[in-house]
Chain A
């Protein structure tokens, strides 16, 4: 066992560090500064372009497809080093590289690979995800947006329906879309996967007013949207397999958000306890923060174990969901605790108390972490079924034609 870099890893880290030191600072955002979404997305594209030109794009992507064909361990090292800078990255960059490209690479045609992969790696194309619907979240295969062949003999598809929780759909170029093409089949079998140009007539995105006050998610309405058959990814009816490819990327990618217990220790130490000390001296606070810190370290070392498995060619499978499950719950609990230890000033801070603002935001945002990318309950089912070998859920809808289900 060795927790440190091997000599090859250390050499790779040092190359990454040198390149980042020379190129990343020019692309950094100023912490705390609020810039318009359009500018953030543009700066995201510029950073992707810089990565591409420097040879740091598509690190784990096969060489034949324009990537570097490196191991997951090297990608993690680069991400660790890149994470030391405050760079314009977000769903507008990661959905393309982390979701659209894997699905196009695995299920697409050569023509589709040629058209989309390099352009995405370069930042010329950005992507959003059109999966969830108002009545299809954790039960994604219950989706109702439908596509039928145009009756003009063109082979084109006409899509109608509504998608939701599509991050940055208003500012991205293309979307990955899953729709129902055959309602006479059982729910998982009648789905087909497309890529769609977000400027196509009939696509309307409306921002969702979120509980955080921000609006990075949208509802996307599709009305008679015409998609050429050339933009179908995989065969008709292969949509669910494509979704699994995408969601696997999401699961492995989740849990990397800021969350540390370190800032909360500082926050407790900056809050008086009324007895001449600080809330970091309070036994109950210490115990809860220490247990959360132990969990945080456990998550970090667990990820190191998973990385080692990947580097040995093993598939962590549902084990990867354990980190996300542990992280999301801890994130909510500890930020809730932080607001509580602050006293009433945690609820209504004085101007300039930015630390409390951060804690409040994290407490609000933690709710979405427990839902997005595999809700707690979905992950618990997966762990029970795939890690512990317990029985699957009773599914009343699995083998009956979708059109006969109650909606």
Chain B
């Protein structure tokens, strides 16, 4: 057993952190919000130049052909920086869906462009309030109808992989008369969401059937890496503030109420990191273990980031409620990440369903 990232993976993470430290400061995030832009396009270009966008895209389609753990260390860095880029939408979901379910022609048409950053994809799965994986939209005779909402990053995406009736995927170009994009008021100010209405939009079927489970299990592992990075960032921010802030004649960090709170955040974060590592390893090397590993990683990722985002703001006190402090970026993103890809209840069922004899028996 060697249950640690490789030296190459650690170096990849270091490169990602260093790039993000240079380009994605909190002041930069504030500027993006104030200017109302959809995303951090220069950062996306830089991620493309570093080869990060194509990290897990096969070499024959212009990527580096690396695995889930490599994507994981990149996601961890993006989570820590709260970066305003569509990596989950375009790479983890869009490109991976095409890789899993697309035809050879679809892969050849889109994966190289997604790897280079010349095109953006998103994955459209929800249809309004309720369970997020909905299949009311339908594809018939190369025409897509129905609605998807909310869809992350759909304002900047060139294509969407759409979950349709029967659980299969349709590939649709968004810049066409049959597609209407309506911007929604997104709780995460750095992750825009849209409503997509399809009125006989031109779309292609994707031939791979039954790929949704694999797609979202893989994405759940990477969402856990993102949550771990974000939790760690919250933990460090809270610790640093508490070390500096004097209260009643000594540092706030010296009080057990604060020490114990942050040690609980640290434990939750390390358990989630451990589950994310196993999930990444299972995705690469032990597919039979992936469903349970992904669900456990997802649940513990939600748990640690929820705790970290809330307690970070709490430790800051009143200053944490100001736009100038940085707690709010994570506080908002945490809720978005807790529900995208399905919420706790959804993944709790998947985890138990992966245990022998634990499927729900009643109707």
Binding site for B on A (CB under 8 A): 1-6, 9, 73, 262, 265-266, 269, 273, 275-278, 280-281, 283, 286-287, 289-291, 293-295, 297-302, 304-305, 307-309, 311-312, 319, 322, 325-326, 377, 379-381, 383-385, 387-394
Contact = CB atoms under 8 A, between A and B. Distances in A.
Query: Considering the complex of A and B, which 7 residue pairs feature the smallest CB-CB distances, nearest first?
Result: A277-B362, A298-B271, A290-B348, A384-B259, A301-B274, A383-B263, A294-B299
Interface string B330-363: 0000000000000011011101100101101110
Contacts of B347: 290
Interface in B67-112: 69
Contact of B239 (A266, A322, A390): A390
B361 A278 contact: yes
A2 B285 contact: yes
Contact of B275 (A262, A286, A301, A377): A301
Given A1-B2, A9-B1, A265-B352, A290 B299 contact: yes
Given A9-B1, A385-B259, A390-B254, A302 B270 contact: yes
A389 B362 CA distance: 50
Given A297-B278, A384-B260, A390-B242, A326 B3 contact: no
Contacts of A1: 2-6, 9, 69, 277, 280-281
B174 interface: no
Does more than half of chain B's interface fall in helix, strand or loop, or is it mixed? helix
A394 B249 CA distance: 12
B21 interface: no
Given A1-B281, A294-B299, A305-B3, A391 B251 contact: yes
21 contacts: A1-B281, A262-B355, A275-B362, A281-B361, A283-B345, A286-B345, A287-B344, A294-B271, A294-B297, A301-B278, A302-B270, A305-B3, A309-B4, A319-B270, A377-B260, A380-B256, A380-B260, A381-B260, A384-B259, A388-B259, A388-B263
B266 A322 contact: yes
Given A280-B358, A380-B260, 10 more contacts: A1-B5, A3-B3, A291-B303, A295-B271, A299-B274, A300-B274, A325-B267, A387-B266, A390-B253, A390-B262
Interface centre among A298, A384, A391, by most chain B C-beta atoms within 10 angstroms, is A298
A308 to B, nearest CB: 5
Contact of A269 (B264, B277, B348, B358): B358
B24 interface: no
B227 interface: no
Contacts of A394: 254
Given A2-B281, A277-B362, A305-B277, A295 B300 contact: yes
Interface in B223-274: 235, 239, 242-243, 250-251, 253-254, 256, 258-260, 262-264, 266-267, 270-274
B233 to A, nearest CB: 14
A276 B360 CA distance: 12
Contacts of B121: none
A294 B295 contact: yes
A298 B274 contact: yes
B296 interface: yes
Interface in B102-158: none
B260 A297 contact: no
A325 B295 CA distance: 23
A43 B2 CA distance: 36
B31 interface: no
Given A265-B358, A393-B256, A290 B349 contact: yes
Contact of A297 (B5, B254, B275, B361): B275
B186 interface: no
B286 interface: yes
Nearest to B67: A1
B269 to A, nearest CB: 10
B292 to A, nearest CB: 8
A393 B272 CA distance: 28
Nearest to A302: B274
Contacts of A392: 254
Contacts of B262: 384, 388, 390
Contacts, number: 184
A286 B254 contact: no
B4 A308 contact: yes
A269 B239 CA distance: 43
Given A262-B355, A380-B264, A388 B235 contact: yes
A286 B348 contact: yes
Contacts of A383: 263, 266-267
Interface centre among B235, B264, B272, by most chain A C-beta atoms within 10 angstroms, is B264
A3 B360 CA distance: 30
B213 to A, nearest CB: 17
A302 B6 contact: no
Contacts of B358: 265, 269, 280
Nearest to A392: B254
A379 B292 CA distance: 30
A293 B271 contact: no
A381 B264 CA distance: 10
Contacts of B345: 283, 286-287
Contacts of A5: 1
Contacts of A301: 3, 274-275, 277-278
Given A73-B1, A277-B361, A305 B260 contact: no
Contacts of B5: 1
A4 B278 CA distance: 11
Nearest to A379: B263
Interface string B284-298: 011000001101110
A322 B266 CA distance: 9
Nearest to A3: B281
Contacts of B274: 298-302, 304-305
A391 B253 contact: yes
Contacts of B299: 290-291, 294
Nearest to A326: B267
A10 to B, nearest CB: 10
A304 B351 contact: no
Contacts of B69: 1
Contacts of B292: 297
Contacts of B243: 389-391
Contacts of B297: 294
A287 B69 CA distance: 27
Contacts of B293: 297
B25 to A, nearest CB: 24
Contacts of A276: 362
A3 B361 CA distance: 33
A307 B266 contact: no
Contacts of A4: 1
A305 B278 CA distance: 10
B1 A298 contact: no
A241 to B, nearest CB: 25
A183 B2 CA distance: 49
Contacts of A3: 1, 3, 278, 281, 285-286
